[in-house]
Amino acid sequence: MPVDLPDFSAFLPEHAARLSDLIRGPEWQAALADESNIARLRESVIAAPDMPDPAGVLVGALKQVNEADVRARIAGGDRDVDALAWRLGEWPDEWTNEPPVLSFVGVYLTLDCNARPKCVYCNQLPVDGCLPMEEWGRLVSELIQGDGQKPYFSYTGGEPLTCGDALYGPEGLIRQAATAGAPSNINTNAFDLTLEVALKIVHAGAARLHVSLDTPDPEVMDELAGGTGRFDLITRGLYNLQVARELLGVNHPVVHINCVLTTRSIFEYPKLVGFLLDRKRVATPGVEGPPRADPHFRDLGIHLIPVGGPQNADIRPTADDYERFFTRTWEAASDVWETYQDARGTEDEARVDYDNYAFFANPYKRVEYRGELRDYCEAVAESTQSTLALGKRCLVAPTQAFFLPDGCQHWCGGHGVSRPEPMGHRSTGSAQGSIASSLSSLRQYPNEFCTGCPVATLFINQGAENALNETVKGWIEEADSPPATPEPPPT
pLDDT at 491: 67
Indicate if the pLDDT at residue 183 is higher than 70. yes
Q: What is the mean pLDDT of residues 50-74?
A: 95
Q: Is residue 491 part of a domain?
A: no
Q: Is 370 helix (H, G, I), strand (E, B) or coil?
A: coil
Q: Is 317 helix (H, G, I), strand (E, B) or coil?
A: coil
pLDDT band of residue 312 (cuts 50, 70, 90) is very high
Q: How far apart are CA 30 and CA 307, in angstroms?
A: 41
Angle at 138 between CA 424 and CA 111, to 5 degrees: 65
Q: How far apart are CA 328 and CA 337, in angstroms?
A: 14
Q: Is residue 422 part of a domain?
A: yes
Q: How far apart are CA 156 and CA 97, in angstroms?
A: 32
Domain count, the chain: 1
Of 59-63, 78-82, 99-103, 397-401, least confident by mean pLDDT is: 99-103
How much is the pTM? Answer: 0.95
Q: How far apart are CA 24 and CA 31, in angstroms?
A: 11
Q: How distant is the alpha carbon of residue 297 from its chain centre? A: 16
pLDDT digits (tens, 9 = 90+) for 91-109: 999 887 777 789 999 999 9
* Contact partners, residue 331, CB within 8 Å, separation at least 6: none
Indicate if the pLDDT at residue 349 is higher than 60. yes
Q: Is residue 482 part of a domain?
A: no
pLDDT digits (tens, 9 = 90+) for 415-429: 999 999 999 999 988
Containing 254, the helix (H) or strand (E) segment is: strand 254-261
Q: Is residue 356 part of a domain?
A: yes
- Alpha-helical segments (H) within 318-396: 319-324, 330-344, 354-357, 363-366, 373-380
pLDDT at 487: 75
Indicate if the pLDDT at residue 482 is higher than 90. no
Q: What is the mean pLDDT of residues 401-412?
A: 97
pLDDT at 2: 64
- First and final CA of the chain: distance in angstroms? 75
Length of the chain: 491
Q: Among 400, 412, 396, 362, which residue's Cα sits nearest to residue 465? A: 396
Q: Is residue 56 part of a domain?
A: no
Q: Is residue 231 part of a domain?
A: yes
pLDDT at 98: 76
Containing 143, the helix (H) or strand (E) segment is: helix 133-143
Q: Is residue 243 part of a domain?
A: yes
Calculate what percentage of the chain has a pLDDT beyond 90: 85
What are residue 199's phi and psi, to 5 degrees?
-60, -40
Range of the domain at 169: 104-466
Q: Is residue 21 part of a domain?
A: no
Q: How far apart are CA 254 and CA 421, in angstroms?
A: 35
Of 1-10, 46-55, 155-164, least confident by mean pLDDT is: 1-10
Indicate if the pLDDT at residue 447 is higher than 90. yes
CB atoms near residue 320 (< 10 Å) = 12
CATH number at residue 281: 3.20.20.70
